[in-house]
Amino acid sequence: MKQESSLLAKLANGSLVLQILLGIIAGVVLASFSPDSAKDIAFLGSLFVGALKAIAPILVFILVASSIANQKKNTQTNMRPIVILYLLGTFAAALTAVILSSIFPTTLVLVAGVEGTSPPQGIGEVIHTLLFKLVDNPVNALMTGNYIGILAWGVGLGLALHHASDSTKQVFADMSHGISQMVHFIIRLAPIGIFGLVAATFAETGFAAIAGYAQLLAVLLGAMAIIALIVNPLIVYVKIKRNPYPLVFRCLRESGVTAFFTRSSAANIPVNMALCEKLNLHEDTYSVSIPLGATINMGGAAITITVLTLAAAHTLGIQVDLLTALLLSVVAAISACGASGVAGGSLLLIPLACSLFGISNDVAMQVVAVGFIIGVVQDAAETALNSSTDVIFTAAACEAAENKAKLR
């Protein structure tokens, strides 16, 4: 009896990834042998999605405002080229995801909410929608989940508080930490929620959903592999004019592997700092660029948000031209910076991208649920790509600056 309780205790306090895997397996088994029972526990998935839906707006608002308000002033570093590399990498990731999603369109199995979706008629309508969402009442934006308005007010408040007293900034930093702790608590409930989601999904739709999830995961991981092994090395080569792969593979090995299992860019900051020290990079540069990268370097998130949103659009029969898809994907990827330090944060920004396509919030949250089901691998791979790229681009910018200084 003691051994059984000890085993349960180890399982309860163990890896979240393992717990989610067990939740998925248990859900599939229950749906296979007792579909009626699987439908009865569907409320567990609904509760989990409801909790995510409730916390996401305030999470984005507080994290973005706090991040901007607490940004250091007058820091003399090589930050400009690093930030350019971050943005270039994010743009390249969004473009790669759009291309792969166009070549391999994926249909998701969604239960409800398909009716009443009104897709935008073109780029003009998208911009019109974007502008009017920007000026939404902040309280209404939080209540209705208008993430564009939430971001606009979060950025505005952060800029206004940038010159506030340290004690005021600390209040927002503490609030940000508190909200993050709440999110971590909800994420810890993911195995139970995903158990309910998987059981209900397979009980109601059968195992046809497996093929859709497998293709979705293949597109996601394929895009991330292209960025990690082809696009990033190409960007680094242009910057430092030498073979980039020794640097790329070292960063993937020493930063990416750790980030894969922690599934948090913020948690991997000390690992990246230590790696930068091993690489003999400029301390004043990496002490700023690594924490900043954990916030704004969102190549992996760009892929996740773009692929899942375009999969939702394809499922609903929405025809999206390449320019519109790329614009919406870049907007979503850049806006995701506020939630980058939270496990699964990029998934919480999917409603933002979906809203720009005219996809209802109910459908968007079903897409988020799909993201959590495949998130055992997706979130880990995304974090590994994001975190390792922080060091890769910082090292490339520092080496390029040193080479330029030697030529003078």
Say which CATH number the domain at 256 has. Answer: 1.10.3860
Residue of higher predicted confidence among 25 and 374 = 25
Give CA separation, 251 vs 139, 290, 326, in Å. Answer: 43, 13, 28
* Cβ-contact 45, 193 below 8 angstroms: yes
Question: pLDDT tens digit string along 41-99?
Answer: 888 888 887 887 787 788 778 877 877 777 666 544 577 888 888 888 888 888 898 88
DSSP string, 299-335: HHHHHHHHHHHHHHHHHTT----HHHHHHHHHHHHHH
pLDDT for residue 405 is more than 50: yes
pLDDT for residue 383 is more than 80: yes
H or E element, residue 365: helix 361-373
What is the spatial distance between Cα 100 and Cα 81, in angstroms, rounded to a whole number?
A: 28
What is the spatial distance between Cα 292 and Cα 286, in angstroms, rounded to a whole number?
A: 9
What is the spatial distance between Cα 406 and Cα 408, in angstroms, rounded to a whole number?
A: 5
φ, ψ for residue 135, nearest 5 deg: -100, 20
pTM of the model: 0.66
Phi-psi region of 272 (alpha: psi -120 to 50; beta: other; left: phi over 0): alpha
Read off the amino acid at residue 123.
I
Q: Helix/strand/coil (H, E, C) string of 205-258? A: HCCHHHHHHHHHHHHHHHHHHHHHHHHHHHHHHHHHCCCCHHHHHHHHHHHHHH
What is the spatial distance between Cα 155 and Cα 260, in angstroms, rounded to a whole number?
A: 30
Q: Domain residues for 340? A: 2-407
- Which pLDDT belongs to residue 200? 80
User: For the residues 99-122, what does the mean pLDDT come to?
Assistant: 65
What is the spatial distance between Cα 167 and Cα 146, in angstroms, rounded to a whole number?
A: 30
Q: Cβ of 206: how many Cβ atoms within 10 Å?
A: 12
Phi-psi region of 106 (alpha: psi -120 to 50; beta: other; left: phi over 0): beta
- Picking from 262, 294, 260, 258, the residue whose alpha carbon sits closest to that of residue 275 is 258
Give the tokens for residue 108.
Answer: 């998701």
The pLDDT confidence band at residue 341, using thresholds 50, 70 and 90, is very low
Q: Which residues contact 13 (CB under 8 A, 6 or more apart)?
A: none
Q: Tally the residues of the chain.
A: 408
Q: Cβ of 130: how many Cβ atoms within 10 Å?
A: 17
**% of the chain residues with pLDDT over 90:** 10
The count of structural domains within the chain is: 1
- Picking from 346, 397, 315, the residue whose alpha carbon sits closest to that of residue 56 is 346
- When mean pLDDT is compared over 6-20, 295-309, 318-332, the highest value belongs to 295-309
H or E element, residue 379: helix 375-407
- Picking from 371, 366, 211, 365, the residue whose alpha carbon sits closest to that of residue 306 is 371
pLDDT for residue 321 is more than 80: no
Give CA separation, 325 vs 5, 362, 367, in Å. Answer: 51, 21, 17
φ, ψ for residue 75, nearest 5 deg: -90, 120
User: For the residues 165-190, what does the mean pLDDT come to?
Assistant: 82
- Picking from 141, 194, 144, the residue whose alpha carbon sits closest to that of residue 26 is 194
HSE-up (13 A, CA, CB side) for residue 119: 19
Question: pLDDT tens digit string along 274-320?
Answer: 888 888 888 767 777 787 777 778 788 888 888 898 888 888 888 87
